[in-house]
Amino acid sequence: MADMKSCARCCKALPLDAFHLSKRSSTGRVSWCKPCIREHRGQKERILEPISDRKTCSACGVVKMRDQFHGSGKNRQGITNACKDCLRAARGFKPRNPIIDGRKKCSGCAEWKLLDDYALRSDRQIGKRSKCKACESAESRIGGVQVWRHRRRRYGLSSTDYAKFVAVQGGHCGLCGGDPDRRGLVIDHDHETGAVRALLCNRCNSGIGMFGESEERLMLAIAYLRRFARAPVAE
């Protein structure tokens, strides 16, 4: 009987070869025989039913689409048992800006307006911005006025003067002659005297500032680039 072992599932005495090896067991073999293990695995390997696109909420009992539930990795369906509305109600959720009769209160003018009067915003709960289009347009104009007030105060340059610079330079950068990016041409000025020199693209204006407006450093940079420039390929 030394070469025999009793299976803990079927209680049959079988040779040791009928059991898988195991380092954790004192006998060096698993407690179930190979046929019992195969049978048990066959019972577990069943075909799962396809996941439906609808589910019954465990709270309100209403059948709803999958997108009405939050995602969850705790069950096979991958969504919560209760729908979003029921979970919000259970947590005492109150929307900050509710929609009543197809209207929404603007956080700017405090007027109730139709949803078409608001711009779209996907990261918002209701998919609309908090302020109406009219308020956002007014703020944009005010922001532009504030920008020109800052430019006039710092550079002594009005919007008319800026337009003249753009016309003289043909809408191009005053240094490299390239086209500006979406931010437009920026004002380049002498940091010692404050005098406006020209309108530059952001890259050129940043480059001059990084070199401290030093001609010596710029010449050293040119020499450096020439020293490591690739020789032209002979034809």
Q: How many alpha carbons lie under 13 Å from residue 135 in its C-beta half-sphere?
A: 16
H or E element at residue 31: strand 29-33
Label the pairing between strands 99-100 and 186-189: unpaired
Question: Residue 159 in 3-state DSSP?
Answer: helix
H or E element at residue 30: strand 29-33
Quick check: 49 pLDDT over 60? Answer: no
Euclidean distance between CA atoms 1 and 24, whole angstroms: 22
Mean pLDDT of 43-72: 77
Per the listing, tokens 């430019």 go with 151
CA-based radius of gyration for the chain: 37
Global pTM value: 0.39
CB atoms within 10 A of CB 25: 13
Q: How many alpha carbons lie under 13 Å from residue 57 in its C-beta half-sphere?
A: 17
- Give percent of the chain above pLDDT 90: 4
DSSP state of 118: E
**pLDDT value for 25:** 84
Q: Quickly state the pLDDT bin for 219 (edges 50, 70, 90).
A: very high
- Domains defined for the chain, CATH in brackets: 4-38 (no CATH), 64-94 (no CATH), 107-155 (no CATH), 156-227 (3.40.1800.10)
Burial of 86 (0-12, 13-18, 19+ CB in 10 A): buried
Tokens read off for 194: 């404050």
**pLDDT value for 47:** 44
